[in-house]
Amino acid sequence: MTMPLSTLGPAVRATLNYSVDNGIPPDYYFYEPDPGIQLNPPGTDAREVAIHDGWPQVEKFSLDREGFELHDFIGRFDQFDDEASVHAQFYPQVIDHVQRHTGAKRVVVFDHTIRKRLPADLKVQTEVQRPAVLLVHSDYTVASGPQRVRDILGREAEPLLMGRVAFYNVWKPLYQRVEELPLAMCDATTHDPADLLRMDLKYRERTGEIYVMRHAPQHRWVYFPKMEAHHALLLKTYDSSTDGRCRFMGHSAFEDPTTPPGAPRRESIEVRTMAFF
C-alpha cells in the first residue's frame, strides 16, 4: 500500500535523469571505447519531478515496502581518508547496523565508495572516490545479484543462494550535514517491474549489469533534506525473495533547487553489503 501524499512533507521540483526505453540495453564504458562502437547511453530522458520531504514519516518507511529506511547510525568514525581504518573499524559498524535493522543472520561488506562533486572525467576518479550519480538506477539485477555473491564468496555462494539474500547500501554523510546533491529514492510501491531497464557496464575484462529506469508518471520520489553525519540511509538494491516485497529500488542524486549559495560540497559514503537470512 502506497503511503498517502498528505502524510509527506513539502516537495521540491527537480530534474532526474531517466533512460529511454528503446528496446536496446543502455551501456556505460569504464574505458574509452573504440571509435566505431555505437553507444546507447543512459540518463538521456531528463524529467522534472516532485521529490517529497520524507522526514514527517521517517519512522514509517520500510525496506520491504518502499525499499528504504533512515536511522541514526550508532557507530562513531571519522577516518574516512584512511582506507585501512575504513575496513578495520567502519565496516564492522556497518555490519552491526544492517543486522540490527534487517534481522539478517550474516552480513558481508564487499566494497564502498566515497561520493563527492567530482568531474565526470574518469582520469580524475579512483576506485573509491567517485562523483555523485545523477542517474536513476538500482545497483543490481536478477542476474548480477546472485553473480556478485558468487564473485565474492566463491564456494560458499551456492548453499547461501538457496536461502534468501538481499543487498543493502548504507549511505551516510562523512563529517557534516548534506546541503547539496541529496539522494532521492523512488518508492518501490509506485514502479512497475517493466520500468527497470537492464544497463550493461562495460569493463575491459568483463561486462556487468545494473538497472536504470524509464519514466512513469506514477513514480513517487522521496528525500531527506539536510541529513546529518549521524544519519544513515538503508537502501535495498536487490532481494532474491519473490513473495511481493520490494526487490529493487531506484535512486539518484539530484541538484536541489533550495540549496543555498555557497553551501558546503556534499561528501558521503555508501557501503555495499549482502545479507543472508
Find, among 249, 246, 232, 271, the residue nearest to 101 by Cα: 232
Residue 168 and residue 273 in contact, taking contact as beta carbons nearer than 8 Å: yes
Number of domains the chain contains: 1
**Residue 136: which pLDDT band, with cuts at 50, 70 and 90?**
very high
Per-residue pLDDT of 145-178, as tens digits, reads 999 999 999 999 999 999 999 999 999 999 999 9
What does pLDDT average to over the chain? 92
On whether residue 256 sits in a domain, the answer given is yes
On whether residue 159 sits in a domain, the answer given is yes
Per residue in 6-41, is it b (16+ CB within 10 Å) or e — as a string?
eebeebbebebbbbbeeeeebbbbeeeeeeeeeebe
Residue 177 and residue 263 in contact, taking contact as beta carbons nearer than 8 Å: no
* Structure confidence at residue 34 (pLDDT): 86
Whether the predicted pLDDT of 17 surpasses 50: yes
Using the structure block, give the residue that is written with the C-alpha cell 538494491: 237
**Residue 196: which pLDDT band, with cuts at 50, 70 and 90?**
very high
* Structure confidence at residue 6 (pLDDT): 66
Among 128-132, 145-149, 217-221, name the one with the lowest average pLDDT.
Answer: 128-132
Q: What is the CATH number of the domain that holds 190?
A: 2.60.120
As a whole number, mean pLDDT of residues 109-119 equals 80
105 DSSP assignment? S
Kindly report the three-state secondary structure assignment for every residue of 111-178.
EEEEEECCCCCHHHCCCCEEECCCCCEECCCCCHHHHHHHHHHHHHHHHHHCCCEEEEEEEEECCCCC
What is the separation of C-alpha 70 from the centre of its chain, rounded to a whole number of angstroms? 13
**Residue 37: which pLDDT band, with cuts at 50, 70 and 90?**
confident
Whether the predicted pLDDT of 129 surpasses 70: no
**Residue 119: which pLDDT band, with cuts at 50, 70 and 90?**
low
Distance between CA atoms of 108 and 240, rounded to whole angstroms?
16
On whether residue 8 sits in a domain, the answer given is no
Q: What angle do CA 87, 90, 92 make, to 5 degrees?
A: 85
On whether residue 91 sits in a domain, the answer given is yes
Distance between CA atoms of 268 and 272, rounded to whole angstroms?
13
Domain carrying residue 213: 13-276
* Structure confidence at residue 124 (pLDDT): 42
Distance between CA atoms of 182 and 12, rounded to whole angstroms?
12
Whether the predicted pLDDT of 121 surpasses 50: no
On whether residue 168 sits in a domain, the answer given is yes
Per-residue pLDDT of 64-92, as tens digits, reads 999 999 999 998 898 999 999 999 999 99
Distance between CA atoms of 8 and 251, rounded to whole angstroms?
18
On whether residue 2 sits in a domain, the answer given is no
Q: How many CB atoms lie within 10 A of CB 147?
A: 14
For the chain, give the percent of residues with pLDDT over 90: 80
On whether residue 4 sits in a domain, the answer given is no
pTM of this structure: 0.91
**Residue 123: which pLDDT band, with cuts at 50, 70 and 90?**
very low
On whether residue 181 sits in a domain, the answer given is yes
Name the most confidently modeled range: 35-39, 116-120, 222-226, 260-264: 222-226
Using the structure block, give the residue that is written with the C-alpha cell 521540483: 13
